[in-house]
Structure 1
Amino acid sequence: MYELFLSAFVTLFVVIDPPGCAPIYAGLSAGASRAQAVSMAARACVVAAIILVVFALFGKALLNALHIELDAFRIAGGIMLFMIAIDMVFEKRTQRREERAEKIKATPEVEDVSIFPMAMPMLAGPGSIATMMLLTSRAHGTSQTLTILAAMVSVMLLAFAALAAAGPLMKVLGDKVEAVITRLLGVLLAALAAQYVIDGVKATLLP
C-alpha cells in the first residue's frame, strides 16, 4: 500500500502543482486580509477535493453511460497530461494561469476566488480529474481506492499550505526558483503521461 500511496501522491502532486498555483493565488488574493486569504485557500482545497472524489468514485460509471472504454480514456488522459507537461516545461501553463488571474482581477465584482478559478480549474482541472479516474481505475478493492483518496487528500493539504503561505513564500523563493520547480515537475509528468498511453495501448492491443 505504501508504494501505491507514494505513486499516487507523486502523480497528483505533479499534476495539481501546488508550487505553481501559489504565485497565482498570491496575485489573486493580494487585496485580501491574511484571514481572508487563508479562508479562501481552505475553501478552494475543500471544493477541489470534493470534485476529485466524485470523479474518482463515479467517473467510471459516467464513462460506461457514454459507452466509452476505460482504455480509450486512459490513452486520452495520457495525451492530455502530456500536453500539460509540455506547457509546464515551456511555461505556457503558467502564462495561461496568469492571464486567467488577470481577467479575474479586472472584474471588480469578483472578490471570492476560492471556487473559480482556484478550486476549478486550477486545482481540480481536467488533468487532475483524469488522473484521479485513471488511478482509481487500476485500484483493486476498497483499500487501494482509499489509499489513492488518502494520497489526494495529502496533496490537497500541501496545496492548502502553499496557498495559505503564498505571499510570504513567493517573497522567499522568487520567480526564477518557481519556474525551475515547475519545469522539473513538467518533465516528470511527461514521463508519467507516456506510461499512461503505453498502458492503454497495451491493454487495447493485448487484451
Structure 2
Amino acid sequence: MNEIIAFAFLAFTSFFTLINPIGTMPIFMTMTSNLDDKHRAKTAKKATIAAFFTIVLFAFSGQLLFKFFGISVNSFRVVGGVIFFLMGMDMLQARLATIKVKEDQVKSYVNDISITPLAIPMISGPGALTNAIVMMEDATSVTHKIVLISAIFIVLLLTFIILWSSSKILKLMGETGQNVLMRLMGLIVMVIAVEFFFSGLKPILIDIFGKMN
C-alpha cells in the first residue's frame, strides 16, 4: 500500500509540475483575451481533454515506439532527465515557454487554439509525454497503471479548473506570486530530472562495464 501511495504521489507531483497549469495561465489568457467567459471555458475544456488523450496514448504506445526504433527505456530516461532539467532551469528563472503568435494571426487561431498550441505542445509537451512513457514502464501492475491514469486525469482536471478561473487567479497572485510559484515548481522539476537521469544512466554504465569485463 505504501508503494502505491508513493507512486501516486510521484505521478501527481511530476505531472503537475511538468504540465505547469500555473505557468500556462498567462499564455492562455493572452490567446483567449478576445473570448467571453463561456467560450474561454469551452476552449479550456477542449484543450485539457485533448491533452489527456494525447498523454494516455503516448503512455501506452511508448513501448511499441521503443521496440520499433530499438530505443531502450534507460536511454529515454537519460534524455528525459536532460529535458526536465532544462525546463526546470527556465522555470527557476521564471521564464515561460511561449508559443510565438503574431498579433495579426491570433484571430485565425481562435477556433482551433484548443488543440494547437494549447493542448499540444503547451499542456501535453515533451516533458509530460516523456514522463508518461517512463512512468508507464515503471507501472508494474494493473493497480499502478490505474493509479497513473487517475493521476493524469486529476492533474488535467485541475488544469481545466485553473485555466477556467485563470483571470481571477492571476489577479489574486500578482506578478510576484506567479514568479515565486514558478521558481518553486522549477526546483521540483530539476530534482525529478536528476532522479530520472541517474536512474537511466546507472544501468547503462553497469551494462557497458559488464561487457568490458
What TM-score comes out, normalization by structure 2 length?
A: 0.91
Which blocks of at least 5 consecutive residues in structure 2 are unaligned? Answer: 208-213
> Which sections of structure 1, spanning at least 5 residues, go unmatched?
none
User: Which of 50, 53, 58 is the equivalent residue of 1:50?
Assistant: 53
1:20-75 CA distance string (max 9 Å, x none): 11121111111101110000000000000000000000111111100111111111
* CA distance in 2 between partners of 1:163 and 1:105 (Å): 21
| Partner residue, 2:129 | 129
Kindly name which structure, 1 or 2, has the bigger radius of gyration based on alpha carbons: 2
> Which residue number in structure 2 is paired with residue 120 of structure 1?
120
Select between 160-169 and 109-118 the one with higher mean Cα deviation. Answer: 109-118
Contact 1:104 1:110 survives alignment (8 Å): no
What is the letter of the counterpart of residue 45 of structure 2?
A
**CA distance 1:79–1:32, shift in 2 (3 Å):** same
C-alpha contact 1:19 1:162 (8 A) present in aligned 2: yes
Question: How much has 1:199 moved relative to structure 2?
Answer: 0.4
Q: Deviations over 1:142-197 (max 9, x none)?
A: 21111111101110011001100011111111111111101110011101100001
In structure 2, the partner of 1:185 is 185
- Using the TM superposition, give the Cα deviation of residue 205 of structure 1 relative to its aligned residue in structure 2, in angstroms: 2.4
Over aligned residues, Cα RMSD in angstroms? 1.3
2:48 and 2:103 mapped to 1: Cα distance?
A: 20
Tell me what 1:111 maps to. Answer: 110
- The residue identity in structure 1 corresponding to 2:148 is I
Instruction: Quote how far apart the aligned CAs of 1:105 are.
Output: 4.3
- The corresponding residue for 1:74 is 77
> TM-score scaled to structure 1, two decimals?
0.93
Q: Does 1:29 align with 2:32?
A: yes
Name the CA distance, whole Å, in 2 between partners of 1:4 and 1:174: 33
1:86 matched to which residue of 2? 89
Determine which of 52, 55, 67 is the counterpart of 1:64.
67
Q: Deviations over 1:87-142 (max 9, x none)?
A: 111233x1x31xx25x1643032213211111011100111100111111111022
Give the direction of change, closer, same or farther, for the CA distance of 1:50–1:105 in structure 2 (3 Å limit).
farther
SS at 2:109 equivalent:
coil
Letter in 1 for 2:109: V
CA distance in 2, matches of 1:149, 1:166: 25
> Paired residues, what number?
202
SS at match of 1:109: helix
Letter in 2 for 1:35: K
Contact 1:28–1:105 (Cα < 8 Å) also in 2: no
